[in-house]
Amino acid sequence: MHLTAEEEAILNGEEGETKQQLMEILVGVGKVFGADEMVPVRSAQVSGASYKTIGEWGLKWLSSLDAHAAVPAVLNPVGMDRIRWEEMGIDPGFAKKQLEVISAYERLGIRLECTCTPYYLNITEYGDHLAWSESSAVSYANSVIGARTNREGGPSALAAAIIGKTPKYGLHLVENRKPGIHIQVDGEPKGADASWYGALGYLAGKISGNRIPLISGIRPGRDQLKNLGAAMAATGAVALYHVQGITPEARVFSFSSEGLENIVIEADEVASLFTGEQVDAVAIGCPHCSPDELMTLATLLDGCTVTKPVYIFAARDVIERENEHIRKIERSGARVYADTCMVVSPALERYDRIMVNSGKALSYVPTMCGAGAVIGSTKDCIRAACTPDV
Ligand code: F3S
């Protein structure tokens, strides 16, 4: 792997122990994956931020580091809302540890924006190289924006944030971004909401595995693409997908399905995932809600009172910008939390069955929260938890 003189100097410890250690991580990853060189990144998104996942060892390691981020960098969701954690029923002992993890990242110059939707913060554009780590964010950056990122682990994303570079391999190279399977969707319902695309992604991810799907027969908008990609990244290992005529690289490169394995998914198969079972809580915002999704929720909840807990998750920056919608939503008794989510927070572990409008949550809630998950449209979710009926 070719290193510049500046990179060599960091590796030799000339800029301190922390940078040396982090450069060793980047060079190690680069060698394993056959990178020829490093590439500068425009931004980083660092996972391994929830105390639920990194524990005491991770906190100790973070606290031992001494450096500052070279590029804009944010965190993945943590185990609780940094401000409203008591209201979420979080144990004070857990909260103390979680706040220590957050301070350790802050000391390293990472922005205290804990979200899986960093693309709403305007830190990336088409063609940018990134070092993002949360699977749905990686999928959105690669597929919907046309930026380039591998799915980084927590330490390698942090290393990229501090050094400002990442090894150039995998999805950073244009030749690795071509489709490897064609998925043809039959019967896309007119006006289907994002949950339908989440359910489609739940099926398509299982079929695709780690191949890059070229999908035809659908015309999703941005929130629908977000849900589709998040689910494919959860049930498969899809870090990039193309939708014919819709996603930017599919339009630039006009990929053909010729010679690819062809799989058909019928609308009936997608519909069969919507079982309408009873639930004892509702969770929305996996991935974190967009401004448009918050507006839809405010409209649906206007004049209603929730009779079951309704948790909604979004980035703090988005919540602050959408103040009016948040007030309307919370007047119903539903709660909008920042910094965390239904999967990384221990708050939802107390329920038996949760309704979600996300294919990714359908896959993760049972394994990560130990609760059953039922998928419904956003309207179904509100209907399941509110009076009067919407
Ligand atoms: Fe985001 Fe948590 Fe879902 S990190 S994609 S809301 S599991």
DSSP string, 291-359: HHHHHHHHHHHTT-EESS-EEEE--HHHHHHTHHHHHHHHHTT-EEE-S--TTTSGGGGG-SEEEES-H
- Nearest protein CA to atom 2 of ligand 1, as residue: 341
Would you say how long the chain is, in residues?
A: 390
User: How many angstroms separate the CA atoms of 365 and 109, rounded?
Assistant: 32
Q: What separation in Å is there between the alpha carbon of 57 and the centre of ligand 1? A: 23
Indicate if the alpha-carbon torsion angle 316, 320, 324, 330 is positive or negative.
Answer: positive
Task: Pick the atom of ligand 1 nearest to 230's CA.
Answer: 5
Answer yes or no: is the C-beta of 369 below 6 A from any ligand 1 atom: no
Mutate to test the pocket of ligand 1, among 360, 368, 369, 375 (most ligand atoms within 8 A of CB): 360
pLDDT at 48: 86
Answer yes or no: is the C-beta of 77 below 6 A from any ligand 1 atom: yes
Place of tokens 């609780």: 80
pLDDT at 390: 62
Measure CA 315 to chain center: 11
SS3 128: coil
The CA radius of gyration of the chain, in Å to the nearest whole number, is 21
Q: Do 223 and 292 meet the contact criterion of CB atoms below 8 Å apart?
A: yes
pLDDT at 53: 83
pLDDT (tens place) for every residue of the chain, 390 residues total: 999 999 999 999 999 999 999 999 999 999 999 999 999 999 999 998 988 888 999 999 999 999 999 999 999 999 999 999 999 999 999 999 999 999 999 999 999 999 999 999 988 999 999 999 999 999 999 999 999 999 999 999 999 999 999 999 999 999 999 999 999 999 999 999 999 999 999 999 999 999 999 999 999 999 999 999 999 999 999 999 999 999 999 999 999 999 999 999 999 999 999 999 999 999 999 999 999 999 999 999 999 999 999 999 999 999 999 999 999 999 999 999 999 999 988 889 999 999 999 999 999 999 988 999 999 999 999 999 998 766
- Nearest protein CA to atom 4 of ligand 1, as residue: 116
User: How many angstroms separate the CA atoms of 266 and 256, rounded?
Assistant: 21
- 8-state DSSP, 131: B
pLDDT at 389: 64
Mutate to test the pocket of ligand 1, among 286, 290, 367, 369 (most ligand atoms within 8 A of CB): 286
Task: Pick the atom of ligand 1 nearest to 117's CA.
Answer: 1
User: How many angstroms separate the CA atoms of 87 and 51, rounded?
Assistant: 18
Answer yes or no: is the C-beta of 287 below 6 A from any ligand 1 atom: yes
What residues have CB less than 8 Å from 350, skipping those under 6 apart? 89
pLDDT, one tens digit per residue, over 85-114 is 999 999 999 999 999 999 999 999 999 999
Answer yes or no: is the C-beta of 338 below 6 A from any ligand 1 atom: no
C-alpha triplet 330, 336, 341: angle, nearest 5°: 160
